[in-house]
Structure 1
Amino acid sequence: MADMYCDPRLRELSGASVLVTGGGGLVGSRIVAQLAACGATPIVLDRFDAYPHPVRDLFQVDRHSAQVVLGDVRERATVKWLTGRADYVIHAAAYADVAACTSRPDTAFAANVHGTQTVLDAVVASPVKRLVFVSSASVYGDGVEDSTPTEGGAARFTEEQPLTPISVYANTKVWGEHQVRLMLGGSGTEYSIVRYFSVYGDPQIPKPGSHSWMVPWLALSAHTGRPMRLNGGGHQVRDMVHVEDIAHATVLALVADQAAGQILNVGTGIPTSIRRIAELIAAHYPGAAFVETPMPVGDPRGGCADTRRATDLLGWCPAITLTEGIDRYVRWLNTTPDAVPDWFTTAASAA
């Protein structure tokens, strides 16, 4: 899969050392695989504690990395040592679960604020050419009154509009964006900021107690014979972008000249309701049932990306449609016996 994204624009990464914080996660591991396919030397820094499932093998991190360091982005000595050896940095490490950040703002602050500051301090004192900071569409919240609507009435978010975060997680990402700009603007290190919309794709597995990552939650429910939960009736809108496309845009942001100092939406520009996502999954599971549940705290109504800037500055557009991506995910579930984590089936039995 990674080879399809190694286009000629990435040739300058051949032989370059790229530190990927959070490189052991779903997105980070796909970034690492694509970097390796282009001849770069990926170095991973990750705690490997974000999932209750053995994802290090699942995500094949060791296969594609030149070096894997078990550590925390708050460890100054470790981060300083790694950035001193890096030509580029992709800072993807974060406490990235909306529900968990809401219940544990102290942990969110430690990982997303303290950790980001530690990385920035090290980068400023290093020979790193460019840092790409991974942000989130959650910074838009529910948007503003003058957000440009789509034909269906969903908000379309542009990079210039005011940010209105409605969750602790989103607030940490707003802070991170501002801090990257303040510390690296005018320094010897360039930066780009990428705002991910709703990431999905195998081998994505949800976390206990989370309401994020709709495709695996809904697909695992249907796969194990449980009803698919539609929080808030499933009327929220999401811009679903496949993890391979997300990774490709992120790697391009490392080297695209016009992306320096820019904030870029990474999405498809297509609004899809959660109910529609469930319907696409249900088509693979005859007899699949839905159940409506209350809207979780901090869950935005959502919208979709204005993708013109990513297209213009990166020459990027998503290659995998939602239907194709869901087909791939279901196929992966059906062919991977260990894909369903123990906690998921245990919770189903208890219910």
Structure 2
Amino acid sequence: MNILVTGGAGFIGRWVVKKLLEDGHDVWILDNLSNGRRENIEEFFHMDHFKGFIYGDIKDRKLLSELFKNKYEICYHLGASINVQDSLDDPETTFNNDVLGTFYVLEECRKQNIKIVFMSTCMVYDRAYDEHGITEVHPIRPASPYAASKISGENMVLSYWYGYKLPAVVIRPFNTYGPFQKTGGEGGVVAIFIKRKLDGKILSIYGDGAQTRDLLFVDDCARFVVEAGYCDKVNGEILNAGSGRDISINDLARLIVQSGEQIQHIPHIHPQSEIQKLLCNYSKTEKLMNWRPEISLEEGVQKTEAWIKSHLYLV
């Protein structure tokens, strides 16, 4: 198939592109490198099925019109502003990228009836209430402009399914981590903690550290994203993906450094947007797609640390 991945130079995007290429598809990437990095995708440039990296913005309607002349079968729409704190500081940029940008991509998909896989986030949810975890019908709580923009994008995507029968699926992966994730301020907690450990620095935890996260290894996440595009049964659906296990930030820090001496607690920079308990229930996805995670947290942390150690020049 001909496939477009917006945001394909980002952390999850590059793993999605890798799997699509391994599956034998012709792949184009559109990315403005606001979150992504050219280094993430350079290994693909020599591959026969890699058809091009286009440096550009999803809000550039002229560029989109030209790009969609390639007659794609699937568009994986991962391009977005993704940082909660950035959305609180500058909500307009997040709105424009995550709502208007999604609308412009949707319009191009509608013209040719191209399936769209829309990358949303677990940050749209209210906290998990119990150990059964968060299902797709769990209450939402847009506690940041980022979450609100993703909910808006989800509803726009689903309106094209109901209104135009455009093949579409909304996916909500939980907290994804692994190789190629940034280890600085825009990165994920696992990558940040590992890098600080390797640098001999203190691991700083916002608040009391009792907040929990369901951490999904990026290989498992990419498989979920890609297969949602392949599966017709999920059209018109919202789907979760996670490990089905949550861990407190305190326990995660101890898993990574094995010592309390390298850990400190600091005031939360955005406590109003904190979700106290995130635990994924992925039973719907398992039923519809036969998907389940394969990499445990302990194995995933080891793989991530090994990659960061061998790529310190990049991170």
* 1:224 and 2:206 correspond: no
* 1:198 and 2:175 correspond: yes
The offset of 1:165, in angstroms, is: 1.5
Contact preservation (8 Å) 1:20, 1:28: yes
Question: 1:188-267 alignment to 2 at 5 Å?
Answer: 188-208=165-185, 210=186, 213-267=188-242
Report the TM-score, using the length of structure 1 for normalisation.
0.84
Instruction: Report the CA distance shift for 1:61/1:195 in structure 2 as closer, same or farther (over 3 A).
Output: farther
- Deviating 4+ runs (over 6 angstroms): none
* 1:107 and 2:84 correspond: no
- Matching residue within 141, 159, 163 for 2:140: 163
Report percent identity of matched pairs. Answer: 28
Residue 112 of structure 2: aligned partner:
126
Distance 1:135 1:22 in 2: 13
Q: Secondary structure at the match of 1:303?
A: coil
One-letter code aligned to 1:276 = D
Distance 1:182 1:44 in 2: 25
The offset of 1:61, in angstroms, is: 6.1
Residue 44 of structure 1: aligned partner:
29
Distance 2:183 2:59 in 1: 25
Residue 289 of structure 1: aligned partner:
262
Range with greater deviation from structure 2 (242-251 or 185-194):
185-194
One-letter code aligned to 2:120 = S
Residue 74 of structure 2: aligned partner:
88
Contact preservation (8 Å) 2:126, 2:139: no
* 1:272 and 2:247 correspond: yes
Q: Secondary structure at the match of 1:72?
A: coil
Distance 2:204 2:4 in 1: 38
Distance 1:83 1:264 in 2: 26
- Matching residue within 297, 303, 317 for 2:292: 317
Residue 176 of structure 1: aligned partner:
153
Contact preservation (8 Å) 2:3, 2:75: yes
* 1:78 and 2:78 correspond: no
The offset of 1:319, in angstroms, is: 1.0
Distance 1:328 1:161 in 2: 32
Q: Secondary structure at the match of 2:208?
A: helix
Contact preservation (8 Å) 1:101, 1:107: yes
What is the RMSD of the two structures over their aligned residues, measured on CA atoms? Answer: 1.8
5+ unaligned residues in a row in structure 2: which ranges? none
The offset of 1:59, in angstroms, is: 4.2
The offset of 1:220, in angstroms, is: 1.1
Q: Secondary structure at the match of 1:123?
A: helix
Contact preservation (8 Å) 1:83, 1:89: no
5+ unaligned residues in a row in structure 1: which ranges? 1-15, 341-351
The offset of 1:24, in angstroms, is: 0.7
Count of matched residue positions in the alignment of Structure 1 and Structure 2: 309
Residue 56 of structure 1: aligned partner:
38
Q: Secondary structure at the match of 1:68?
A: strand
Report the TM-score, using the length of structure 2 for normalisation.
0.93
Residue 302 of structure 2: aligned partner:
327
Deviation string, structure 1 residues 133-159 (Cα, Å, up to 9, x no partner) = 00001110335xxx4x11xxxx72110
One-letter code aligned to 1:293 = I
Contact preservation (8 Å) 1:197, 1:267: yes
Instruction: Report the CA distance shift for 1:134/1:303 in structure 2 as closer, same or farther (over 3 A).
Output: same
Deviation string, structure 1 residues 200-251 (Cα, Å, up to 9, x no partner) = 001211343x4x6100111111111111011112111100001111110011
Q: Secondary structure at the match of 1:120?
A: helix
Distance 1:281 1:185 in 2: 45
